[in-house]
Homo-oligomer: A and B are copies of this chain.
Amino acid sequence: MNLTLKQFRYFEALARHGHFGRAADACSISQPALSMQIRELEETLGTELFERGARQVRLTNFGEEFALRVRDILRSVDELGDLARASRDRLVGRLRIGVIPTIAPYLLPEIITSLSGLHDGLEIHVRETLTSRLVEELAEGRIDTAIVALPVSEPALTEVALFNEKFVLVRPDADRDKPVPDRDTLREMRLLLLEEGHCFRDQALSFCNLRSARPRELLDGSSLSTLVQMVGSGIGVTLIPEMAVPVETRSAAVSVVHFKDPQPARTIGMIWRKSSPLAAQLHQISDIVRRAGEDVRSREETG
């Protein structure tokens, strides 16, 4: 036989009451049931825990020591229950969130502020990389959720749309007064794009009705920031998501214009494993992220 928590609970009651009948009452069982479990416990241990006197039940020396430890254990076990109850509703512990590079710099500060304000004691890990890798890491359980451009169309993943964001044209400041190009004239221009793998590259190309582009410059490992700086140097033009405008165009000699309808845009959403037990919390979080995105974009409009 093995030690059981039930035996510990009965033992603790008996140690406290010093009386089989009353201890059994306290445990809501019959007195023989308690007797049997105590005997079982003593047999398992190979030692007597109580000295049964005619009129009193006393702990032995060993029983005293045993009681101290058992109380510790029972306390720890009860804490487990509390812990579970606490973590059932609100998100606790670690949240590993992946974000694509064309969103991360603009949205993350807001997200992290909101999340850590609402969920005290939440540890946030951020992973910034391409969608394909995020999906991999999601499948492997290395991150809990990711913020990407939809659709991802992975059957194992849940997708939740957060908001749409338009793409804007960034061109040298000198071009400020030129007319807004349409997608066809855009194709004629020297369009600077991120390296392959970035979804934003594909989205931009698709807007221009291009399947692929032979880049004249290799921009491996570069960022929207780099692109904008290059535009400022008069090398060409580029597209950036509108959320990036305030950050990226502040310190560059560039001008920004919106396209005429139909404007290019993409849907930003959150994804997570369908099997994730965090699903409920992730839905809550998606609301927070949506609000964060709205805040950022409204700041842009007014700023």
Contact = CB atoms under 8 A, between A and B. Distances in A.
A80 B52 contact: no
5 contacts: A51-B273, A62-B87, A62-B92, A70-B80, A76-B76
A88 B47 contact: yes
A3 B3 contact: no
A156 B56 CA distance: 14
Interface residues of A, number: 48
Interface string A60-98: 111011100110110011011101110110001111000
A276 interface: yes
Copies in the complex: 2
Interface of A: 2-6, 44-48, 51-54, 56, 58, 60-62, 64-66, 69-70, 72-73, 76-77, 79-81, 83-85, 87-88, 92-95, 141, 144, 156, 273, 275-278
A72 B76 contact: yes
A58 B6 contact: no
A76 B70 CA distance: 9
A79 B69 contact: yes
